[in-house]
Amino acid sequence: MKSYRFSFFLRLIIFLFFLPSFLYSQLDDPIYDYYDRFHPVVGEQGMVATQEKKATQIGLDVLKNGGNAVDSAYAIAYALAVTLPRAGNIGGGGFMMIYSAKDKQVYAIDYREKAPQKATANMFLDVSGNVNEDLSRYSILSVGVPGTVAGFEHVLKRFGTKKRKVLIAPAILLAENGIVVGKDLSESLKRAKPRMMVSPAAMKIFYKKKATFYEPGDILVQKDLSKTLKMISSKGSKSFYNGTISKEIAKYMKNNNGLITRNDFKSYSIKERTPVKGSYKGLDVYSMPPPSSGGVHLIQLLNILEQFSLSELGHNSADSIHLYAEAMRVAYADRSKYMGDPGFVNVPSEMLTSKSVAHKIAASISLDKAGNSNTIYPGRYFEPKEGNETTHFTIMDKFGNVVSNTYTLNFSDGSKLVVPGTGILLNNQMDDFSAKPGVANAYGLIGSEANSIAPGKRMLSSMTPTIVFKDGLPTLATGSPGGSRIITTVLQLVLNTIEFDLNIAEATVAPRVHHQWKPDEIRIEKGISQDTIKRLKDKGHIVVTKRAMGSSQSIVKKGNYFYGYSDPRKPNSLTLGY
Ligand code: DON
């Protein structure tokens, strides 16, 4: 009796002792971890992450109305062409990764611009053989044949469920009735003015009378663009590649010594490519193959870094950043020589993404001492077989589909040239070619023969739309703008979530680092501690703090929930879920 009473009291005491923490744990919302400093947006049925609020809302409405991720992507792409003119586009090109839940397949859609038929290898060299950057970046010759309209038409036909007209309607309304100018747009147009002045059609649209500025709160109407969008809405990409719009662009080219002809438009085609596939600690990574260098080098970098215990070394510790820099040094050296349009050159993708080559590279890295870019040369670790503006958006829907899309005009507002009467801003993507072997492009990227200019060739890109799978199901989709920094930004998002177990908000806001072989320096964002910088310098690195890198838009799927986050590095981005 006595012992029974004793054990009853003992149990009661234990129960009362643990009761408060049990009750507290019941108060915890399972979606949030109260140890986390930043929290992602949460959704149960679908999620959209883009760099501009209106476009995000439009994309989410498509999902809510029963559309799938590709329908939503189509609506977003045209909305961004109106609301984010510096990067959203119909006069540019890009890459899209799609996961189709129905056939359990990942697709890589290449709608990159092409060099016109009249393009020549030396078209950007002056009489002394030097690269004329004004020509490759700011002239009518900098324009590649646009691919965006063909790209989105293709994916809508192949994977979409909604009508083109319905999806494009919000963009038409925004162009016709005008958008409220925000601080971001107002400032970007102020910055663009000196270059835009070469294009009277651009000045008419993006500036008020007497070339004065649109200020925050003003309404920006894009009547010509709305006309163009209506044509695309009723006739589809035919109107762009084989009708009125291509006629207008070809006429503008002819009158201004440009190279693009109606035949260039007629012969433009998108390509469905086999995604490049790798793995990191048991998770499968699918990304964009050449003519983007993004996927190949992302996988090469993950393969190298997998050889180290990064999480033990610590997130953004000097040792981890050192290893990133050494791996990046090798990857960007390889990029400079081997990467180009696979329709024109043999790209050794298999070698570059092989685990065994990565082992060799990892083994060559000293943990204590920085390498030297002058002694690292392309292809050092394998025998090759012979022979400021982009934007990303990510969507996941309730059907299990995923879209990860990066598209661009290259620079902010591309070439700054608007084709009169169309409202279309043209890209300056020709600068992504290597104008001369060994001479850097606008992002400091050095290229070679593999990326030289040739008629009909696609210029090499760094865009890295990516989808990561766990046990056969998508768990992370991400991508970013940022020129040469795109690959390393996506790398760090993948490592931050998978290796360091940060939630997607924390993975996004964490300070980023970058090394691209040449210049031989680690570029860092503000937020890396002084003693980390000192330790990196002690290892022999040059460390420079420069402006923020990237504008990622990411979604994670875990259990029944979507967790998303838009990069706060750009002011107007927004993730919404429902
Ligand atoms: O395709 C590329 O790699 C470049 N044209 C992307 C440019 C870019 O990301 C500029 N944005 N910050």
Instruction: Report the CATH number at residue 496.
Output: 1.10.246.130
From CA 539, how far away is CA 329, in angstroms rounded? 15
Told to judge if 390 belongs to the known catalytic residues of this protein, a careful annotator would answer: yes
State pTM to two decimals.
Answer: 0.94
164, containing H or E segment? helix 164-177
Residue 417 lies in a domain: no
Which of 405, 431, 463, 546 to mutate to test ligand 1, by most ligand atoms within 8 A of the CB atom?
A: 463
Ligand 1, atom 6, residue with closest C-alpha: 483
Closest CA to 463 of 295, 328, 314: 295
The total domain count for the chain is 1
Task: List ligand 1's pocket residues with C-beta within 6 A.
Answer: 388-390, 408, 410, 429, 432, 461-463, 481-483, 486
Residue 392 lies in a domain: no
Ligand 1, residue 550: give the atom nearest the CA.
12
Residue 525 lies in a domain: yes
Which of 393, 486, 546 to mutate to test ligand 1, by most ligand atoms within 8 A of the CB atom?
A: 486
Per residue of the chain (578 residues), what is the pLDDT tens digit?
556 676 777 788 877 777 766 665 555 566 778 889 999 999 999 999 999 999 999 999 999 999 999 999 999 999 999 999 999 999 999 999 999 999 999 999 999 999 999 999 999 999 999 999 999 999 999 999 999 999 999 999 999 999 999 999 999 999 999 999 999 999 999 999 999 999 999 999 999 999 999 999 999 999 999 999 999 999 999 999 999 999 999 999 999 999 999 999 999 999 999 999 999 999 999 999 999 999 999 999 999 999 999 999 999 999 999 999 999 999 999 999 999 999 999 999 999 999 999 999 999 999 999 999 999 988 888 766 544 689 999 999 999 999 999 999 999 999 999 999 999 999 999 999 999 999 999 999 999 999 999 999 999 999 999 999 999 999 999 999 999 999 999 999 999 999 999 999 999 999 999 999 999 999 999 999 999 999 999 999 999 999 999 999 999 999 999 999 999 999 999 999 99
Residue 555 lies in a domain: yes
Ligand 1, residue 294: give the atom nearest the CA.
3
Residue 234 lies in a domain: no
Burial class (CB in 10 A: 0-12, 13-18, 19+), 317: middle
From CA 439, how far away is CA 126, in angstroms rounded? 14
Which of 287, 413, 462, 464 to mutate to test ligand 1, by most ligand atoms within 8 A of the CB atom?
A: 462
Q: With contact defined as beta carbons under 8 Å apart, do 51 and 573 qualify?
A: yes
Residue 414 lies in a domain: no
Ligand 1, atom 1, residue with closest C-alpha: 461
Residue 453 lies in a domain: no
Q: Please tell me which residue in 228, 261, 390, 478 is annotated as part of the active site.
A: 390
Q: For residue 374, what are the domain limits?
A: 276-387+463-559
Residue 521 lies in a domain: yes
Ligand 1, residue 463: give the atom nearest the CA.
3
55, containing H or E segment? helix 53-64
Q: How far is the CA of 47 from the centre of ligand 1 (A)?
A: 25
User: What is the CA angle 204-213-50, rounded to 5?
Assistant: 90
